[in-house]
Amino acid sequence: MRAAAERLRGIVVRTPLVPLHSFEASSDIYLKPEMLQPIGSYKLRGVYNWAASLNPEQRKRGLSTHSAGNTAQALGYVARLFGVPARSLVPDFAPAVKVRAVESYGATPVVMPFDELLNFVFAEGFKREPYNFLNPWGEPKMIAGSATIGLEIIEDCPDVETVYIPVGGGGLVAGVGSVLRALKPSVRIVGVQAEACPALHASFAAGRPVWVDAGPTICEGVAVPFVSDEMYPLLRSVIDDVVLVSEDKVKQAIRTLANNNSLVVEGAGALSVAAALANEHRRGKTVCILSGGKIEMEELAAIVAEANRGRGKRRE
């Protein structure tokens, strides 16, 4: 992990811890705004760490992954740094703003139904292609890159008591959680998922990895309907609790971050704050990882307008 931190020096932003603004009192919630990374999410840490570990001949073959948008953007950005081609399989529910960003970085998005994407991954279709394939859910170098966030949290907030972390495939919480467990075992690590896609929550309840029927969610960045057999033991060992958040609570957190801290955060990125605000009596000094910020401006405007309409009705 420290090797990854050194490798990432000068490539990623060492994001600060910013207090969640409160009009009533000083806040005990601190934000780790990873949407301030050059590509708008924490994914740059893991993707660069992985790509930099390949030798030049390997990289020349090109880089490939599958992604709902943020990993694909990171892959395109990193591929451009190394001067090599990149492409990503992208589910057809990925927001257009993310697909456009992938293209802008020079990578090729291959948009397809999610079922087809999963079939390709589980059939290991990537082994029949020339690209170097990045498994965004379990690649050790990807997890080690994400783990650098945990190191920064401990360095900047050594008295942290609880950390809230969005969970999709599990790579972010696996990396950050492993570092926190090693450096400060007393820290409570809480994974956060959308109610519409509670794969890890259901897996912990069942005591084994399970699939769930995922519904539509504003948190498409973490809409992974299963936990892999490989990831489950690690996740079980580092996470204290998994909590679920409703769509309304996510939207409320997006509004709070936009209005109070002037931060633009996507649905998955707002999960941590939504969970922390709903559990104020048992968390202590808290860090919330804001994992990404790619949201359609029309969608953000509509979410903010919901609150404004509500205030207008109350005034009437």
pLDDT at residue 23 in the model: 73
CA geometry: angle at 6 spanning 190 and 13, to 5°?
A: 65
pLDDT at residue 134 in the model: 96
pLDDT at residue 24 in the model: 65
Work out the widest C-alpha separation in the chain, in whole angstroms. 67
Q: Nearest to residue 220, comparing CAs of 84, 72, 120?
A: 72
pLDDT at residue 252 in the model: 96
Mean pLDDT over the full length of the chain = 93
Domain(s) of CATH 3.40.50.1100: residues in the chain: 2-40+140-304, 43-133
Instruction: Say what the pTM is.
Output: 0.93
Domain 2-40+140-304 has CATH 3.30.70.1430: no
- 43-133 — its CATH code? 3.40.50.1100
pLDDT at residue 310 in the model: 55
pLDDT at residue 315 in the model: 46
For residue 191, the one-letter residue type is G
pLDDT digits (tens, 9 = 90+) for 101-128: 999 999 999 999 999 999 998 899 988 9
pLDDT at residue 308 in the model: 62
Mean pLDDT by 10 residues, the chain (316 residues): 91 97 79 97 97 96 93 96 96 92 94 93 90 93 97 97 97 97 97 98 97 94 93 97 97 95 97 93 90 94 79 48
pLDDT at residue 27 in the model: 79
pLDDT at residue 316 in the model: 46
